Every structure is written in C-alpha cells, then in structure tokens.
Structure 1
C-alpha cells in the first residue's frame, strides 16, 4: 500500500462512486477500481460496499479512511511545516459555527481574513453545536466554535467567553408589572409558559441541568429549536423565551422585548474554540483560528457581544 492508493481510496469514499472519483482524480475508472481491489487483497478485507447507486465504506473501510485522512493531512502539511510562518497561509478552512455565533462572528471574520490572508478561503458550516461537535471529531471540519465539551477525547478546547442565559417576552405580555425587577428566580421562571428548544438541544440540556439542581421540572408551552422562531413566537405573545442575552440584545435595545436575568441559579453558556489533536492543523486553519479568537474577544471588549471573557490563560498560541 502506498500514498497514491490511500489518496485514491479516500477520494472514492468522499465521492461515493468510482466514476466521480475518477473524474476528480483524472484517472481511468478501471485503473481506479483495480487499485482499490489490490488494497483489499493486500489487507484481506472488503473495504467498500458496492451497489447500483454508488459505494460506501465497510466497517474496515471506515477504519482505513480515518488512517488515510490523518496520513494524507500530515503529508499535505510537510511543505507548510518546512517553510514555517515565512510563507503566507493558503487553502480552504472549514469552520463550524452555531447559528447565533455565526450571525455575529462570520462576516467580521471573513472580512478580516480576506484582508490579512487573501489566499485563504473560509467555508463556514452553520448548524447546532452538537452536530458541529460530531463533524469536528469526524474530521469534516478544521475548526469550530462550540458550547459543549462533554467528550473531549481527541480535541483541544480554548474557553473564549461565557454568555448569560436570560428570560424575555414582549413588554405587555402578562401585564406590565407581572415580573418585578430585572431578575427572576429559575423556579419562578419554569412556572411560566416557556418557549424553549426541544430535548437534545444544547441549550435545553443546559436548562434541564440547572433545573435539576433545584429539583423543578421544565414543562414548556412550546418546544422549537430555532432561535428566530422562538423570538417570533415571543413577539406574538405566545410565551416567555429563554435564550442567550446576545440573541435578544438588539430587540431589548429597541424595546421589542423586556429581558430578565435568571438567578438561583444563574445560567451561563461557555463558548469554546476547538480543533482536533489527532490530525495536524495546517497553517491556514491555525491562522484563521487565532484570528477568530482575537475577533471574538474584541467583540466582547467593544460590547458588540454581551458576555464575560475567560481568563487570558485560555488563549491559544496557534499562529503569530
């Protein structure tokens, strides 16, 4: 088995068919099929499920694919590693961002990267934090901003900031003086008609964990995973939403929502910069990761992002 065969096999798996892989690699399809068969004969196992609608890796193929990704990435890193930081970063960076983070970070990051690293192209992948976490562990992403560190194996985490989770509603909902003051206890908040994400969502799990500490159940009026839809329902007067303060900051300033701190206990959500420790991080992801970290922190200092900064010791040293 050699590097060329690993590259061919990886492309077949990623393409899902021999014909698409052959086109991408500029290799004749019969020759490509023969290379994969030679690998199967050498290893003594079947690597691919072959069907009328394409191919998919067997269990052994999945294991080989993990090795192939790591080896090919390390091989691709050699030129940049040898040249060091004297050469400008270049290439594509796959960056996973949860929706609320993407909304505030993606545009400034892309703009700053275009000016500082013109040969780098950022591909932002937006999804819920749990999906991003899984894709990062699988190697489908180079970097991510995520909320959970529930399974840290194979990943590095740098705690960037902590967001406050708050209760909000339209100002006239339940009467102007329905909730006194600027704060509400969690046990009182859960008695309200709540608009929250469904089970399995990271924010819902955070709420459930907090409620468990005071032994009260969360029985929502509406469960919906979209932050924008939670806000729309709150604007229509269908209940009280619970979201990060950043997500409702503009509406609070405009007077669209009234916002309360949640206390006893206070609920915060941590945002982490994460990347794999099982695969080499190339120059381009290193540069973009460091840039994203710096922009994130500056946004908090400039009050663009309402949050608390972590200790400076959390700062990554990815790219100078």
Structure 2
C-alpha cells in the first residue's frame, strides 16, 4: 500500500506546481518533498517532469492524481457513515416472519421511494433463521416472535399480532365444533400450533385440531388463504397475513372471544448502534404500526 504521507505530498505538489510552496504548506523541507516523490516514482514510474518554473504530470502522474481523489471521496463517505450523518444513503436490511413481512414490505418500498439513496433488502424467515442471520451480520434488523435472551442481541417491543380464525365468506357462521368439521382445515407450517392455541379457547373440551379433516396445505404465506377464499376450508393465521390477502370479500374473520396475541420483537446486534438510515426506518415503521389501520 502506498504511504499516505507520500500521496498527500504528491497531490499538494500537483496543485501548487512548486517544490518550495509544497514544502511550506506541508511544513516539510524541499528535500523531503523530493524524497516523497522519488519513493512514489520508484513504485509507479515517472510521475512528473520538472521544468523551469513548471511541473508537468505524466500520464502515470494524472492516473495517480485521480486515484488520490477517489481515496479522498471514499474517506469522506466512511467518515459520514461512521458519524451517522449520512442519513440519505445506505441499505436497510430486515429479516422477518412471513406474516408481518407482508405488511412491512410495502411500507419499506414506500420509504425507498421517498429516499432514493436507500436500498431495501428484506427476507421472510422463521425465528431461528432470523436470529442466526442477525447474529452473523447478514441482516442488520430482525423481527422474532420470541424475545431472545442472547446478550449479543438487543430486543425491543415492535408490535402485537393476534391470531385469527378465517373461513370462507359463504360459510362464516361457525358456532360449534361440528361447523369446523364440515369445513375442514387448510394447513400451513405453523397451522397446527396456531389453531390449537386459538381453538382451545373458542371450543374448550374439543377433540383437537388433529382430528379435523385436512383440506389443503401451503407453505407460501401469501397463498394460504387462497383455498379458504374458494370455499375449501378454514384456517388460523396471523392478522397481518390475513390483512394482506387481496380478496377480502371472499373471506371472513370469525369471532373467537379473548384474543390470542403474539408479540413481535425487533432485534439487532447490541454491541453497536444501528445505522442512521435504519434508525429512521424503524421510527417510521413503529409509527405506522401504531396506527389502527396498519392491519385491517
């Protein structure tokens, strides 16, 4: 790597065109200025032609001058980023469960439209993958349903998300277990666990979700409600996944009494602060999710 002091001497010499004035500005001797230039030329070849009262850069000298300008810009960008002053450019990387992700992603895109210097990178993943990705610095931010107790992670309350029993709009009258038996269950990766938690409160003493006929299965969060909308069965799903479904008129949320609610925790590495643009994005998202219409 080229010595930064030599490069500083060279750029000053190229600007002033004089060994004497360069030495005065940098508080060096003229011999030191000549020595710095000689060191660079030993590495890179002839950089400047000394003429009476004039210094002319060679093509190699002009290339080195352009390189020094790039280094200066890179240094300024780094200092801005580390100081947190560069809030108008950067990446917002977030990994989250699918349901909340369906609500988050359009909000993140709106933020990117408002801040063209931002880049959004989002991934859907279950809790274990979210934790691993944040710990390995693959994503700066994550959302999980269980608060981690790892000292390397900072966790704060983000929002709450109730579970919902969703049935076809034409079969929304569900009053007893037999009504569910007639419909059948549309399953998904978390379907059995979610349905057990919710239905045990709505129908205490029932034989359990495992006794119901399984009418379908999907591991794509955005498609789980498609068979429900077509009248093929019911499911239990988080509210944000239900609210993101485009054909709301074809489905109905069935009242189940006391809500079963999951808390969503925002996590990031605790050893260092989040980037400036990520902090601004978090504030905006918290404000959006605090509004009643965040998930309808």
Normalised to the residue count of structure 2, the TM-score between the two structures is: 0.58
Following superposition of structure 1 onto structure 2, how do residues 238-257 of structure 1 map, counting pairs within 5 Å? 238-249=232-243, 254-257=248-251
CA distances 1:202-238 after superposition (whole Å, capped 9, x unpaired)? x654444566786764315144332333212213333
1:225 to 197, 211, 219: 219
Per the TM alignment, residue 240 of structure 1 is displaced from its structure 2 partner at its CA by: 1.0
1:241 & 1:211 partners in 2: Cα distance? 11
For 1:133, the equivalent position in structure 2 comes to 131
The yes-or-no answer on 1:145 pairing with 2:135 is: no
For 1:284, the equivalent position in structure 2 comes to 277
Task: Provide closer, same or farther for how the CA distance between residues 226 and 190 of structure 1 changes in structure 2, counting only shifts above 3 A.
Answer: farther
For 2:101, the equivalent position in structure 1 comes to 102
Q: Does structure 1 retain, via aligned residues, the 8 Å contact 2:161–2:238? A: yes
2:155 & 2:282 partners in 1: Cα distance? 12
Normalised to the residue count of structure 1, the TM-score between the two structures is: 0.54
2:181 & 2:153 partners in 1: Cα distance? 35
Moved more, 231-240 or 127-136: 127-136
The yes-or-no answer on 1:274 pairing with 2:267 is: yes
Following superposition of structure 1 onto structure 2, how do residues 44-83 of structure 1 map, counting pairs within 5 Å? 79-80=79-80, 83=83
Q: In structure 1, list runs of 5 or more residues that go unmatched.
A: 1-76, 307-320
Structure exhibiting the larger radius of gyration computed from Cα positions? 2
1:129 & 1:193 partners in 2: Cα distance? 28
Per the TM alignment, residue 171 of structure 1 is displaced from its structure 2 partner at its CA by: 2.9
CA distances 1:92-125 after superposition (whole Å, capped 9, x unpaired)? 231113333333222232322442x443322122
Q: Does structure 2 retain, via aligned residues, the 8 Å contact 1:169–1:257? A: yes
Task: Provide closer, same or farther for how the CA distance between residues 268 and 211 of structure 1 changes in structure 2, counting only shifts above 3 A.
Answer: same
Q: Does structure 1 retain, via aligned residues, the 8 Å contact 2:167–2:251? A: yes
Task: Provide closer, same or farther for how the CA distance between residues 138 and 190 of structure 1 changes in structure 2, counting only shifts above 3 A.
Answer: farther
Q: How many residues align?
A: 215
Tell me the secondary structure at the aligned position of residue 121 of structure 1. strand
Moved more, 241-250 or 138-147: 241-250
Per the TM alignment, residue 140 of structure 1 is displaced from its structure 2 partner at its CA by: 1.1
Q: Does structure 1 retain, via aligned residues, the 8 Å contact 2:187–2:235? A: yes
Tell me the secondary structure at the aligned position of residue 135 of structure 2. helix
Task: Provide closer, same or farther for how the CA distance between residues 128 and 83 of structure 1 changes in structure 2, counting only shifts above 3 A.
Answer: closer
Tell me the secondary structure at the aligned position of residue 227 of structure 1. coil
Per the TM alignment, residue 192 of structure 1 is displaced from its structure 2 partner at its CA by: 6.2
RMSD of aligned alpha carbons: 3.8
Q: In structure 2, list runs of 5 or more residues that go unmatched.
A: 1-76
1:171 to 169, 177, 184: 169
2:97 & 2:87 partners in 1: Cα distance? 28
For 1:157, the equivalent position in structure 2 comes to 155
CA distances 1:150-169 after superposition (whole Å, capped 9, x unpaired)? 55542222223222211122
Tell me the secondary structure at the aligned position of residue 262 of structure 1. coil
